[in-house]
Amino acid sequence: MSGDTDVTLPRSVEVFDTTLRDGSQLEGISLTVDDKLRIAEQLDWLGVNYIEGGWPGANPKDDEFFRRVHSELKLDTSTLVAFGSTRRKAGKVDSDDTLRHLLEANTGTVCIVGKTWDYHVTAALETTLDEGVAMVADSVEFLRVQGRDVLFDAEHFFDGYKRNPEFSLRVLEGAVEKGASTLVLCDTNGGSLPHEVERIVADVTRYFGTDVRIGVHTHDDTGCGVANALAGVRGGATHVQGTVNGYGERTGNCNLTTVIANLALKMGVETIAPDRMERLTPVSHHVAELVNMPLNPQQPYVGTSAFAHKAGLHVSAIARRPDAYEHVSPDAVGNGTRFVVSELAGKSTLQMKAVSL
């Protein structure tokens, strides 16, 4: 049971992992191609719907990854995705290098990013709004003709929608009309708050109805990356993008290990297969080792301190009734209860610690 009475939640939500692209932009992370292949293997074992492998043509590592992945890695549950951008302004799709590299990556699904904030079109791209729409529509159409499933990442969508909703929706319409299967509303600078995300996603969901899947891509600049993703689902999104352990540029992306557990265990929305939920903790820890960054011990659900108990009264109660002080069973996410001996420890703590040794 979700506990929500004011919204109708979806039965399931697609999980799109971008650890290998967006996650690798975190300061201090530098993945080898072998690292990327091993992380992709872990993500497939976890059971996410999509694995975004990188941006072909952007750097030699991503090019090598896409050359090797098809022969070296057999994905059982996940769909591999190549990422890129729309054609250049005033350019032609059939001679655009970015679109060519997307096709050369040889993935059945691609994700392209395009501008949906009028300010970025006129100030950053220095082109007209009509051309901004055409860049998206032309690119989607070209990739669809080439047989690709196309997801459209609507860059800075929430900022753009707040200022000029007519233009932002016009860009989305162009993508849908040319065959995009999913519209991913991106809070690119991470500045939106949950109530804004829920309202705007609900607006877009009502606008398009069942014609296209709506997704969200959130960042953690306000500390609301996960909360914004959950708000997006409340607004009607059925596709959530993020990274393992919240890796990403600046303060990070939506933490998939947290959002997957919250959706499934707190809101009753299926994400990964139920029998794979217990893989969350081992995958989180394994990926942390591969990126060579220590895992935050206080990370929800999967951290080493997520189910650690220090106060003597808590430990005494847990010995009798574990659910009295643990909001979910740690076994559900592959973690475990841990008892910490300190000056606050009582007899029960010492007894439980001794049993665990």
Query: How high is the pLDDT of residue 324?
Result: 80
- DSSP assignment string, 65-103: HHHHHHHH---SSPEEEEEEEPPPTT--GGG-HHHHHHH
Q: Which whole number is the average pLDDT over 55-71?
A: 98
Q: Quote the pLDDT of residue 349.
A: 47
- Confidence band of 350 (pLDDT split at 50, 70, 90): very low
* Topology annotation, domain 14-291: TIM Barrel (3.20.20)
Note the pLDDT of residue 355. Answer: 53
**311, 345 contact by CB (below 8 A):** no
Tell the residue number behind the tokens 């250049």, with chain if given: 88
Beta 109-115 vs 79-85: how paired, if at all?
parallel
- Check residue 331 and give its pLDDT: 97
- Return the DSSP state at 349: H
Burial of 45-72, coded b for 16+ CB within 10 Å and e otherwise, reads bbbbbbbbbbbbbeeebbbbbbeebeee
Decide: residue 153, CB within 10 A, 0-12 exposed, 13-18 middle, 19+ buried. buried
In the predicted model, is pLDDT for residue 4 greater than 60? no
267 phi/psi in degrees, rounded to 5:
-115, -5
**316 or 178, which is more confident?**
178
The first and second tokens of residue 28, run together, are 């201090």
The CATH 3.20.20.70 portion of the chain extends over 14-291
pLDDT reading at 5 higher than 60: no
AA letter at 149 = D
Just give the CATH number of 308-356.
4.10.430
CATH 4.10.430 domain range(s) in the chain: 308-356
For residues 26 and 337, which has the higher predicted lDDT (pLDDT)? Answer: 26
pLDDT in tens, 80-122: 999 999 999 999 999 999 999 999 999 999 999 999 999 999 9
The string of pLDDT tens digits covering residues 134-188 is 999 999 999 999 999 999 999 999 999 999 999 999 999 999 999 999 999 999 9
